[in-house]
Amino acid sequence: MKILITGGCGYIGSHTAVELLNANYEVVIIDNFSNSKRDVLDKIKVITGKNFSFYEGDVCDKEILRQIFSENKIDGVIHFAGFKAVGESVSKPLMYYRNNLDSTLSLLEVMNEMNCKKLVFSSSATVYGDCHETRFVETIKKGTPSNPYGKTKTMIEDILEDLYHADPTWSITMLRYFNPVGSHSSGLIGDDPSGIPNNLMPYILRVAVGQLECLTIFGNDYDTPDGTCIRDYIHVVDLAQGHIKALEQLLNNEPKIRIYNLGSGQGVSVTEIVTTFEKVNNLKLNYKYGARRNGDLPAICADPTLALKELGWKTTKTLEDMCRDSYNFIIKNSQNKN
């Protein structure tokens, strides 16, 4: 089976490419390196010992998509390509709406033309928006995300629902990720945001290697056991394996539209992450407590029951694995840079 991965050089796409190649799928990647580096291609080859096809280009460009589908018999597509920085989406909304929506529409139109109607889409827990639950199950009504990035995910989910209802020969699976962290155990690929990170784990890593001075924990006066926010962190390799399960289901069953949460179901506080990170990596992190961050909810956790029931998928990696593998990546990566 040959699978097209859009955005396959990025953080989650590269880990998924590794898992697909390990599971003996043929892989075709398209990426324009807007948020990734070319050397990821070699790293995927080193990790897997396998080859794959690569096209450098923009998923908004239908011509290159047509070229890919004419040169390869694509059985299914996993669509990761898109911009993902929440803060940037607030200051550059048009850039986010243009890239995330246009890339998806171009891809869907070309898939339709080429009669390839099997798609796995990277959605996000952000679509639950500001709804006042702490444990999210797929059947609760979507909320309103507070930022343009989140809104593009909600809009794309709506587009995919409309498409399926107009043409039920499509098979579509939307995966709502919770908080992906960690790296492949080789330390070769991982999350490497440019500039000052917004997300917790990349920020911790920069402090751990001395590139940033101090982590601010945003609020310790929430109504949670230790006063800091609770999230559902998921190791990126578990997440990548969730895509393989979703793809297998999609390729082997009648067309349907499906939604799954991909999370561990375990809530972890910011303080727990920090102390676990210190313990497993045998170091001290410089951190302080600061004000709450605007828009943060106190506690968010996945209900991953449906993914277990229908995909036979659940997370296997621990918080210790996430902290150890994340640190291993930054150590190898910052050594490479020096």
Q: Which of 104, 122, 261, 264 binds ligand NAD (CB under 6 A)?
A: 122
Write the interaction track for ligand UD1 spanning residues 199-238; mark x where CB under 6 A is met and - where it is not. xx--x-----------xxxx----------x-x-------
Residue 256 in contact with ligand UD1, rule: CB under 6 A:
no
DSSP state of 77: E
Residue 32 in contact with ligand NAD, rule: CB under 6 A:
yes
Residue 197 in contact with ligand NAD, rule: CB under 6 A:
no
Residue 145 in contact with ligand NAD, rule: CB under 6 A:
no
Closest among 201, 157, 198, 152 to 180, alpha carbons compared: 201
Q: Which of 1, 86, 105, 306 binds ligand UD1 (CB under 6 A)?
A: 86
Q: Respond yes or no: is residue 164 known to be catalytic.
A: no
Closest contact distance (angstroms) between CB of 230 and ligand UD1 is 8
Residue 107 in contact with ligand NAD, rule: CB under 6 A:
no
Residue 34 in contact with ligand NAD, rule: CB under 6 A:
yes
d(CA 292, CA 277): 22
Q: Roughly what angle, to the nearest 10 degrees, separates helices 270-281 and 319-337? A: 60
Q: Which of 3, 4, 5, 13 binds ligand NAD (CB under 6 A)?
A: 13
Query: Among ligand UD1, ligand NAD, none, what binds residue 150 when CB lies within 5 to 8 Å by partner kind?
Result: ligand UD1
Residue with tokens 């303080």: 271
* Residues paired with 79 in a beta bridge: 6, 121
Distances (CA, A) of 334 to 3, 35, 187, 188, 198: 32, 18, 11, 11, 19
Which tokens go with 110?
Answer: 């070309």
- The dihedral sign for the CA sequence 166, 76, 158, 94: negative
Query: Among ligand UD1, ligand NAD, none, what binds residue 281 when CB lies within 5 to 8 Å by partner kind?
Result: none
Residue 264 in contact with ligand UD1, rule: CB under 6 A:
no
* Residues paired with 257 in a beta bridge: 172
State the Rg of the chain over Cα. Answer: 19
**Which of residues 278 and 296 has its CB atom nearest to ligand UD1 in the complex?**
296
d(CA 114, CA 106): 12
Q: Which of 148, 150, 182, 304 binds ligand UD1 (CB under 6 A)?
A: 150
Q: Which of 37, 73, 279, 293 binds ligand UD1 (CB under 6 A)?
A: 293
Query: At residue 201, what are phi and psi to the nearest 5 degrees?
Result: -65, -45
Query: Among ligand UD1, ligand NAD, none, what binds residue 106 when CB lies within 5 to 8 Å by partner kind?
Result: none
Q: Which of 81, 273, 302, 330 binds ligand NAD (CB under 6 A)?
A: 81
Residues with Cβ within 8 Å of residue 93, at least 6 apart in sequence? 148
Question: Beta strands of 130-286 (E only): which ranges?
Answer: 135-136, 171-177, 179-181, 215-218, 230-231, 233-235, 257-262, 268-269
CA angle 135, 141, 145 (to 5 degrees): 80
Residue 329 in contact with ligand UD1, rule: CB under 6 A:
no
Q: Which of 295, 305, 312, 336 binds ligand UD1 (CB under 6 A)?
A: 295
Binding site for ligand NAD (CB under 6 A): 7, 9-13, 30-36, 58-60, 80-82, 84, 99, 103, 122, 124, 177, 180
Catalytic positions: 149
Binding site for ligand UD1 (CB under 6 A): 86, 124, 126, 150, 179, 198-200, 203, 215-218, 229, 231, 270, 293, 295-296
